[in-house]
Chain A
């Protein structure tokens, strides 16, 4: 699973 580096979704 990718580490959340900041959310790119809305």
Chain B
């Protein structure tokens, strides 16, 4: 564990708490892409299949359980209690391409051809692009609530900090895995426009609006 990874994990934790707070406070999931949330649920379930076979630490297990449970809870609540508060007509990104693309990528680029490793790799590639339906929806509507922007910033910062963590781990431990590094870079690049608007507008107290 190093400071980059710890802060990254805490940002990830914070992002989910902010999202839950937004939905509860505004009693609405408006502005949230259901498709992105569904992809995150798939990401966590496929990544943490080793939950019962590979013990790392209590911290690791608790975080895994929380990420699976909270993403499942959000997907469930968006389908049930908050179903009428968001508009599927705005959430039109074709996630079949992301699901299929990640499958192809994990079949070509992986370190071991085993059940757990293939699903882990799939989750890494899928996570890199899971935010696209959300970003696509925001580019269509041209704006986002401030709390939603904070959620997305924390979520984007998590993977960005993981990239720093991987560089740091390579320098200090010689630990290197190029698949998550590359996927983390892709994800961070996809966030670039969002980060720009977040820093130039939301951090200065203005609304998140695309030019």
Closest chain A residue, CB of each to CB of B162: A9
Question: B5 is contacted by which of A1, A2, A9 (Cβ under 8 Å)?
Answer: A9
Which of B19-27, B91-99, B128-136, B174-182 lines the interface with chain A? B174-182
Q: A1-B176, A2-B174, A2-B175 are in contact. Are A7 and B50 (CB under 8 A)?
A: yes
Which residues from B are CB-within-8-Å of A7? 50, 54, 120
Whether A10 pairs with B50 at a CB distance below 8 angstroms is: no
Which residues from A are CB-within-8-Å of B80? none
Q: Which residues of A contact B (CB under 8 A)?
A: 1-2, 4, 6-10
Q: Which residues of B contact A (CB under 8 A)?
A: 5, 9, 12, 50, 54, 56, 60, 63-64, 67, 111-112, 117, 120, 162, 165, 173-178, 180
